[in-house]
Amino acid sequence: MRKNFGAKPWTYPQPVFIIATYGEDGTPDAMNAAWGGISDDTQLSICLGANHKTTANILARKAFTVSMATADQLVPCDYVGIASANTVPDKLAKTGWHTTRSAFVDAPLIDELPMAVECRLVSYDPESCHLVGEIVNVSADESVLDESGKIDPDKLQPILFDPIHNAYRKLGEKAGNAFRDGAALR
């Protein structure tokens, strides 16, 4: 028997995205967002409220980066989700993070977060808070690559958001082979 919970924003897993932008004065900013994902081969969609400083920065600069939050950076990743750049103008200073300007978009990469998706703004609807970015590059530090040069999730250690328990969880071990294991039912 199933238990019904009603309409809730609950899906598993929810990636923990750290969205980084530059403010009008060039100050790097970052926020934590979990409501988002791939919406087309070259697009990422995120639900971002119009009241966020990050949203204003994206609208002004037409660019942003999305880093995958990692287990070793959990505390600063959570901090940028609870502190607002509207009231803490240089909140990145408290995280101890360093940034490097993206070569592809007008936005910072966070050096301590080894994987990022670099995006150009496609659209933003303030009514629905739906932001769409065009993915122009994905970058990863060599420290999270496997022997064949691909991103290794075991080395990356991305965290996931558990919306039911307000918790972060680590990505688990490999469970199977996508686009292959189902062939057993043919």
Stretch 29-48: mean pLDDT: 93
Site of tokens 């070793």: 72
Task: Please determine, for residue 113, whether its predicted confidence score (pLDDT) is greater than 90.
Answer: yes
Q: How far apart are CA 148 and CA 83, in angstroms?
A: 39
Strands 28-33 and 17-22, bridge-based pairing: antiparallel
pLDDT tens column, 69-102: 999 999 999 999 999 998 998 899 999 999 999 9
Task: Please determine, for residue 44, whether its predicted confidence score (pLDDT) is greater than 90.
Answer: yes
Q: What is the pLDDT of residue 171?
A: 86
- Torsion angle of C-alpha atoms 177, 71, 37, 85, degrees rounded to 10: -170
Chain centroid to CA 184: 34
SS (H, E, C) 35-78: CEEEEECCEEEEECCCCCHHHHHHHHHCEEEEEECEHHHHHHHH
Task: Please determine, for residue 10, whether its predicted confidence score (pLDDT) is greater than 90.
Answer: no
For 93, the enclosing helix (H) or strand (E) is helix 92-95
In which band, very low, low, confident or very high, does the pLDDT at 11 lie, cut at 50, 70 and 90? confident
DSSP 8-state code for residue 142: G
3-state secondary structure of 183: helix
3-state secondary structure of 137: strand
Stated pTM of the model: 0.94
